[in-house]
Amino acid sequence: MTRWLLFAVLLISLMASAMGIVVLRHESRQLFGALQAAAADRDVASVEWSRLQLEQAWLAETGRVEREARERLNMQRPGQVGILVEQR
Amino acid sequence: MSAPNPHARRLIRVWLTAGIMLTIALLMVVRAVNLQITEAEFLQGQGEARFLRQVAIPTVRGNILDRNGEPLAVSTPVESVWAHPGELLQAIDRLPALAALLETPADALERRLTQRATREFVWLRRRINPDLADEIRALAIPGVFFQREYRRFYPTGEVTAQILGFTNIDDVGQEGLELAYNSWLQGEPGAKRVIKDRLGRVVQNVELVRDARPGRDLQLTLDRRLQYLAFRELKTGVLDVGASSGSVVVLDVTTGEILAMVNFPSYNPNASIRAVGENMRNRAMTDVIEPGSVIKPFAVAAAMEAGLAYPEMLIDTTPGTMRVSGHTIRDIRNFGPLTVEGVLARSSNVGMVQLVLSMDARHLWGVYSRLGFGTVTGTGFPGESAGVLRDFERWRKLEQATLSYGYGLSVTPLQLVRAMAAIADDGRLRQPSFILGTDNPVISVLDPDLARDINRMLEASTLAGSTGTRAQVAGYRVGGKTGTTRKIGAGGYESRYVSSFAGFAPASRPQLAAVVVINDPTGGEFFGGAVAAPVFSRVMDAALRLSSIPPDDLDVLMAATGERP
């Protein structure tokens, strides 16, 4: 009788662990898929980031800023009178 | 018993069949054992080779940033298109669409592919921009594949070209700081083993063979805005006088950091085909010039250190010429009696020679070499020149005389500005640096009082009536020295010139030092005071403003605007 009981217990745990493996395997595949997708997203983001960085560098290029300021906004360097100096 | 027994025949048949079956079964067992045990390793390996792949984990080269974190060199991903000719030629009707996007004639593309039909890999186009790559990908032509690569971009272009250098197609530094700091910037690609399916998709990571080490960023001491302004002023200065080239270096006196270093003419480092040669050199560090009069303050420092001179001491420079070892040394005119300060301000060669000839050669050599002439500055920049300062034991009298006004030795612009910064900073010499946060050890090379005396005399050299008047910056007290040298050519000294100016500001508490060197001015003007000093003035003006250094010459400002403080 005890033998049968032992057998049943072992059988059930065997089945359970088999099911567990199936479930975990599936889960790990899904997670791996997510990881791949995340890595792809990261790549896209880093591409975008370096492009934005270049674009920003181009837009903020000193020569361009100066041209824009002088020609489009009609700005000019303040004369000596316009400079306030704090004396201590 | 002649007729065969049907029972016995049946028995034979049974045994025969069983024997054959058994033999076959045995063979199968043997084969199975063979496969499973004897050849298992080989077969397993072969099997894995068909789905296990070792793939590289790519890394990006680090960026180069300016002192405020603005990018100066950025690696950005681009895609390269390659084809499997066999597969692509199957879909020959799709070729025209692909050729149109690649901007090549379809027949040329087809010819290229048929010629290489037996190969498995042909580059179609390297380093195209991602948008174009997406368009090509959208065509979904079989046999066309993409490879991610990186390309280096330099947003500041020609302004920083010679300092940063560039990388080759594999992103390895070839010149300039890209070369000097290549191992720092370059990452180390990692590797991992993965399982791929039939379509080449990664299904599972098996193991990490080597972790990737990404490239590190490099933050420089350069200021992008100042770099640009210096370049613009240098360019104007060089073009105005019809000169062939020029360099400007701006140094932070208190730290030795190089705030700007520009050379003109320059080149565009972003161009796919770079013109090789001349313009690629970082002239400020690789080219040497005879400094001319710019060296005079250092010679005066040597004389004063030896106790042979003091600022108010009178030297008679009449009649404006002097003979040394059968050679005539000339001033531009007869200045008559001058103080030592006046000798510097008027840049009198005769006065300098008199000072220097009374001095021990070893001492003059010692002061020059303490100020860093004749040795590399230690920045680690590839191709930096040490200049030439010959050993005093080989000096003849004439040589010692000419050394006092800057002939007979050669220096780089960077060495000049470093020595000038040492004078400005109470006689403390610093190693110039490109990398932010470098610890630049200080070497005391001159007595602080002596340095301050020289400092004051250099300020006088930019006041009215002196050679360096045009170096003045409104609102600031400026110190500095002009220089004009004839260039040496195949047949001795020619009538080609190098005009220079080295100085510092604000003179009351020097913060910045700068040098301007302009080669070969052809437009009539060639004196340092007329060619280089105005460029110095404009660059220094910009540098002082960008560094928010308060004016130290308010009275003049107020007087100029008619206001009282």
CA distance B348 to B370: 24
Give the H or E element holding residue B531: helix B528-546
The amino acid at residue A1 is M
**Beta carbons of B258 and B543 less than 8 angstroms apart:** no
Using the Cβ of B554 and the Cβ atoms of chain A, whether some distance falls under 8 Å is answered with yes
Q: For the CA atoms of A25, A29, A34, A39, what is the dihedral angle to 10 degrees?
A: 120
Whether B71 sits inside 8 A of A57 (CB atoms) is yes
**Beta carbons of B343 and B300 less than 8 angstroms apart:** yes
Using the Cβ of B551 and the Cβ atoms of chain A, whether some distance falls under 8 Å is answered with yes
Per-residue pLDDT tens listing for chain B (565 residues): 455 677 888 889 999 999 999 999 999 999 999 888 888 888 888 877 777 778 887 788 899 999 998 889 988 888 888 888 888 888 778 888 888 888 888 888 888 888 888 887 888 888 887 788 888 888 888 888 888 788 888 988 889 999 999 888 778 888 899 999 999 998 888 888 888 776 667 777 778 888 888 889 999 999 999 999 999 999 999 999 999 999 999 999 999 999 999 998 898 888 766 666 778 889 999 999 999 999 999 999 999 999 988 888 899 988 888 888 888 888 888 888 999 999 988 889 999 999 998 888 899 999 999 999 999 988 889 889 999 998 888 888 888 899 999 898 999 999 999 999 999 999 999 999 999 988 888 999 999 999 999 999 999 888 888 888 888 988 899 999 999 988 877 777 777 889 999 999 899 999 999 999 999 998 788 888 889 999 999 999 999 988 888 888 776 666 655 544 4
Looking only at the bridges linking them, the beta strands covering B428-430 and B337-339 are unpaired
Give A36's contacts in chain B (Cβ within 8 Å): 202
Q: Which residues have CB under 8 Å from B493's CB, separation 6+?
A: B486, B487
Q: Which residues have CB under 8 Å from B69's CB, separation 6+?
A: B219
* End-to-end Cα, chain B, rounded Å: 151
DSSP string, B11-58: HHHHHHHHHHHHHHHHHHHHHHHIIIIISHHHHHHHHHHHHEEEEEE-
Query: Residue B513: beta bridge partners?
Result: B251, B504
Q: Which two tokens stand for residue B408?
A: 């007979």
**Beta carbons of B160 and B221 less than 8 angstroms apart:** no
Best mutation target, A27, A61, A70, A88, to test chain B (most B CBs within 10 A)? A61
Residue B405 backbone class (left: φ over 0; alpha: ψ -120 to 50; beta: rest): alpha
How close is the nearest chain A Cα to the Cα of B155, in Å? Answer: 6
Q: Where are the beta strands (DSSP E) in B108-189?
A: 122-128, 144-153
Q: Least CB-CB distance to B561: which of A50, A80, A85? A: A80
Q: Which two tokens stand for residue B207?
A: 């193991």
How close is the nearest chain B Cα to the Cα of A70, in Å? Answer: 15
Give A61's contacts in chain B (Cβ within 8 Å): 155-156, 228
Whether A80 sits inside 8 A of B205 (CB atoms) is no
Query: Complex ipTM, two decimals?
Result: 0.70
CA distance B358 to B397: 11
Pairs of CB atoms within 8 A across A/B: 57
Give A39's contacts in chain B (Cβ within 8 Å): none
CA distance B488 to A2: 110
Question: In 10 A of CB B111, how many CB atoms?
Answer: 11
Q: Which domains does chain B have, with CATH numbers?
A: 56-219 (3.90.1310.10), 224-269+282-561 (3.40.710.10)
**Beta carbons of B477 and B507 less than 8 angstroms apart:** yes
Q: Which two tokens stand for residue B97?
A: 């669409």
Residues 68-87 of B with CB under 8 A from A: 70-71, 74-77
Residue B319: closest CA among B309, B304, B310, B330: B330
Active site residue B80: no
Give B506's contacts in chain A (Cβ within 8 Å): none
Among chain B residues, the shortest Cα distance to A86 is held by: B550
